[in-house]
Structure 1
Amino acid sequence: MGTQKPDVAIVGAGVMGLMTAYYLRQQGATVTVLEKGRLPAGSSYGNAGLIVPSHLQPLCSPGNVKEGVRHLLNSTGPFSIALSANPRRWVWLGRFVRHSTKGHVRYAVGIFKELADRSLELHDALAQGAGSAYEYDRSGILCLYETRNAFLAAIKDAEELTRAGRPARVLDAHEVRERIPFVGRSILGGVLQEPDGRLNPAAFVSWLAEQVRRAGGHILEETEVYGATLAGFQLRELKTTRGPVKADQFVLAAGAWTGRLAAMMGRRLPVEAAKGFSITYEKPAAASCVPLLLEEARVAVTPFAHALRLAGVLELCGLDDRLSARRIEAMERDLLRTLPGLAPLKVKEIWRGFRPCTPDGLPYIGRLQRLRNAVVATGHATKGIFLAPVTGRLSADLLAGDSLDPLLCKALDPQRAAR
């Protein structure tokens, strides 16, 4: 390709790949990042941009399995599972259901708390250097509830969050309307999760790419990986649409496509794609200063400087990128039912993308099975934009030869996928 062999080649220029490159350059490693599309793109582009230290539950949980079954035949439900003839999908779903227990949820929450604490600290440090470049703000997230049972459960959760050092303030319907005058009469109350916040994800990815390039890293866009050359337990070369790429070490951070990359190397890595959607509107006259979570609809409403984004839905459907008009219409109905004062809204962009999900709900961060010079960084489901800094730092440390905390190493090890 006409470039000098780097210390590390990274597949994927989303937030995981770019954060890893950012910290590797801080350590002095030479880095080349490969991206099959143009920046910013993928799930790192169109998501809600939420900073969520208060959201520690894994995707696999008894409640989500119950909801997935309930919406099995509902193409517009907030969480759905598409049936498939693909036997690997059934194996993945079987493991997902087996991990959806209260005991595993408690275990995963403990791991996510450790990751969240570290990532929040790193996010704050990054934002100090970035200024207003990507609209980082931690003024809280307001969760809104329409049903009595959900609101009562949220009150108990708020008490637990506060005891755990994550202050959560319960608001009755009147207090919600004082803060958000455009909410509908269906809203019974809310919970303000005070440590949380948001950023503009596309601006964040662009800022990261600029930092990597300024530090001497190379980012090759429109460069797709289609094969690999191995020698024993070493990955020697990636075959790309712009020629071969050699490196001493490699990072697979291609989101929902990481499982396919691993398969090119003869390694099994169960990553399932969960399709999500977002609708970005021109900024309306009425808008909240903080992101809103419409809990029953399972959608987020994120204000940016010049836009408003409605994002949500989880479709476990493989890499099927079809756009459903019924799905988009259902999201907008939920939005205008709960927040009628936002109307009229003018659409700027409708987006869909894939979140990488693991069967036990925890990300893969570690060496790929029987490949000594390949690190995996994927599987963050809906927490990717928030957990990107800690993932990048951990991945860079692994590549530098440092050891992870034993508890995190065991919990995040990609080799657990083969057990």
Structure 2
Amino acid sequence: MGSAKRDVVIVGGGIMGLMTAYFLTQKGASVTVLEKGRLPCGSSYGNAGLIVPSHLQPLCSPANLKEGFRHLFNPVGPFSVSLTGDGRRLLWLGRFAAHCTEAHVARAVSVYRDLADRSLVLHDALAELGGSHYEYGRHGLLCVYASKKGFQAACEEAEALCRAGRPARVLEADALRRLEPSLADAVVGGILQEPDGSLNPSAFMTWLAQRVRDQGGQIAEETEVFGAEVSQGRVVRLRTNRGPVAGEQFVVAAGAWSGILTGRMGVRLPVEPAKGFSITYEAPLDALRHPLLLEEARVAVTPMEGALRLAGVLELSGFDDAVPLRRLDAMERDLTTFLPSLGRLAVREIWRGFRPCTPDGLPVIGRLRSPKNLLVGSGHATKGMFLGPVTGELLAEFLEGRSPAPSVERAVDPNRFAHLF
């Protein structure tokens, strides 16, 4: 890698790392991004690509806790937890359950609202530069329901969204099928969340990496970080498979591996991997007009240029990267149940990856107390692609010596977990 010292070294070439590099290189900083794989990769590659300012709920909520228990022993349910293996996972689950309260949800929603409002502005600004390259569009997200009970609850939530400034249009079955003719007769209704939309994650990450390079940033692919040299409370250099990398400031933005990497630098963070899956098909003849959330199945369906992506499942099983066929079969059955007219689709790619989750459902964004030149950006669970821009901007501000609003800074402060260890 050479011995030149960079202003900032970022570990992780996903959405968090590249967005941080983007904002820093705009200001003229010398930045190197280290990525152990080839770009685009990881969860920033295989996700549903949803832009979701209307989705403010944290992962830990009373409803999700109840749903998790309901599917605890269902090997093909939308949630799955392995109770064997690492004891730290059980501790993490206990802390997660303790945060599943209405009071915590209200606090987290307030934080996510601030983050979402800013990230949407940044996404729109980025799209003015390159949105046509990565299929960015905000034409609404359709949340569809096959049960009357679920639809009735969604109608109440839609009223709350409207009061919060997120327009949400209730659509009865007939109106819904006029909007999306491919939907099954069994679908009873849906909610069109009008501020939302989608992009093509792979194309977006490719475009963003090129912007970073054009602005003078370096991206070292196939460069894995094994550890760090820490002296007098500061990271001096990182040890990688391609030699040492020195810097003034360091950022860990390595997704689900962020906690492992900070642990090698003396800081333990409760970032737990949650495995998810996606299946990308060749585009069907009956193209969808909107991205969909098949709510009872907890599966997203995103139309892309020449393709259709089915994404879902949240499996807490450590870094087990197995791909159980019954998982894929269940996802495809859900697709057929909601969209039978699409018929049998040709599979282009099957993907699995790990989303980074924290026990309080909020991300970790900011500077660690020690080492004092180490920052972290991770823990976004299923909201990473949408919240990447605001996270990158926040980390760049921290590195420049500026701070966000105190309420947001406290809520996402990575040091809030120090008492757990």
In structure 2, C-alpha distance between the alignment counterparts of 1:136 and 1:404, rounded to whole Å: 27
Deviation at 1:3, TM superposition (A): 5.5
Q: Map residues 18-417 of structure 1 onto 2, 5 A cutoff.
A: 18-417=18-417
Distance 2:365 2:351 in 1: 28
Provide Cα deviations, 1:367-389, integer angstroms capped at 9, x if missing partner. 12421101100000000000000
Overall identity of the aligned pairs, in %: 63
Contact 1:72 1:80 in 2 (8 A): yes
1:418 is the counterpart of 2:418: yes
TM-score (norm 2): 0.98
Residue type of the partner of 1:197? Answer: G
Runs of 4+ residues over 3 Å off in structure 1? none
Q: Which residue type is aligned with residue 415 of structure 2?
A: Q
Distance 2:237 2:269 in 1: 19
Aligned partner of residue 207 in structure 2, secondary structure: helix
Q: Secondary structure at the match of 1:80?
A: strand
* AA of the residue aligned to 1:206: T
Please say if residues 7 and 247 of structure 1, whose CA atoms lie closer than 8 Å, have aligned partners that are also in contact. yes
Rate the CA distance shift 1:266–1:291 in 2: closer, same or farther, 3 A.
same
Conserved 8 A contact 1:267-1:369: no
Question: What secondary structure is seen at the aligned counterpart in 2 of 1:135?
Answer: coil
* Number of equivalences: 419
Supply the distance in 1 between the matched residues of 2:101 and 2:233 (Cα, whole angstroms): 36
8 Å contact 1:369–1:414 — kept in the other structure? no
- Structure 2 contact 2–245 (Cα < 8 Å) conserved: no
Contact 2:19-2:388 within 8 A present in 1 as well: yes
The secondary structure found in structure 1 opposite 2:32 is strand
Contact 1:169-1:192 at 8 Å conserved across structures: yes
Letter in 2 for 1:196: D
Are 1:46 and 1:352, in contact at CA under 8 Å, matched by a contact in 2?
Answer: yes
- Please identify, of 303-312 and 362-371, the stretch whose mean Cα deviation from structure 2 is larger: 362-371
Counterpart code for 1:363: P
| 1:36-76 deviation digits (Å, cap 9, x = unpaired) | 00000000000000000000000001111111111111110
**1:232 Cα deviation from its structure 2 partner:** 2.1
* Deviation of the 1:337 alpha carbon: 0.9
Please tell me whether the aligned partners of residues 226 and 240 of structure 1 are also in contact (alpha carbons under 8 angstroms): yes
Distance 2:339 2:85 in 1: 40
Q: For residue 84 of structure 1, report the CA deviation from its aligned partner.
A: 2.3
Q: Distance in 1 between matches of 2:215 and 2:175?
A: 48
The alpha carbon displacement at 1:240 in A equals 0.2
1:183, CA displacement in angstroms?
Answer: 1.2
State the shift of 1:163 in Å. Answer: 1.2
Aligned counterparts of 1:267 and 1:84: Cα–Cα separation in 2: 25
- Measure, in 1, the Cα distance between the counterparts of 2:386 and 2:326: 30
Distance in 1 (CA, whole Å) between partners of 2:342 and 2:218 is 43
Q: Could you tell me which amino acid in structure 1 is paired with residue 242 of structure 2?
A: R
Deviates more, 1:262-271 or 1:193-202: 262-271
Q: Distance in 1 between matches of 2:44 and 2:293?
A: 19
Structure 1 residues without counterparts, runs of 5 or longer: none
Q: Deviations over 1:155-178 (max 9, x none)?
A: 000011111111000000001111
Q: Secondary structure at the match of 1:274?
A: strand
- Counterpart amino acid of residue 144 in structure 2: L
* C-alpha deviation, 1:326, in angstroms: 0.2
Query: 2: distance between equivalents of 1:354 and 1:131?
Result: 26
Tell me how far apart the structure 1 counterparts of residues 3 and 124 of structure 2 sit (CA, whole Å): 35
Q: Which deviates further from its counterpart, 110-119 or 314-323?
A: 314-323
Q: Distance in 2 between matches of 1:354 and 1:237?
A: 27
Distance in 1 of aligned mates of 2:70 and 2:235: 44
Give me the CA root mean square deviation: 0.8
- Match of 2:153, as an amino acid? A
Cα distance between partner residues in 2 of 1:369 and 1:68 = 34
State the distance in 2 between where 1:368 and 1:339 align.
47
Question: Secondary structure of 1:308's partner?
Answer: strand
CA distance in 1, matches of 2:336, 2:131: 33
TM-score of the superposed pair, with normalisation by structure 1: 0.99
SS of the counterpart of 1:235? Answer: strand
Task: Give the Cα–Cα distance (whole angstroms) in 1 for the partners of residues 156 and 25 of structure 2.
Answer: 44
Residues 64 and 79 in structure 1, CA contact (< 8 A), matched pair in contact too:
no
Q: Which moved more, 1:173-182 or 1:98-107?
A: 173-182
Please, which moves more after superposition, 189-198 or 340-349? 340-349
Aligned-partner Cα distance in 1 for 2:23–2:82: 38
Offset of residue 4 of structure 1: 2.3
Question: Separation in 1 of the partners of 2:152 and 2:369?
Answer: 45
Contact 1:284 1:345 in 2 (8 A): yes
Equivalent position amino acid for 1:82 in 2: S
Residue type of the partner of 1:145? Answer: Y
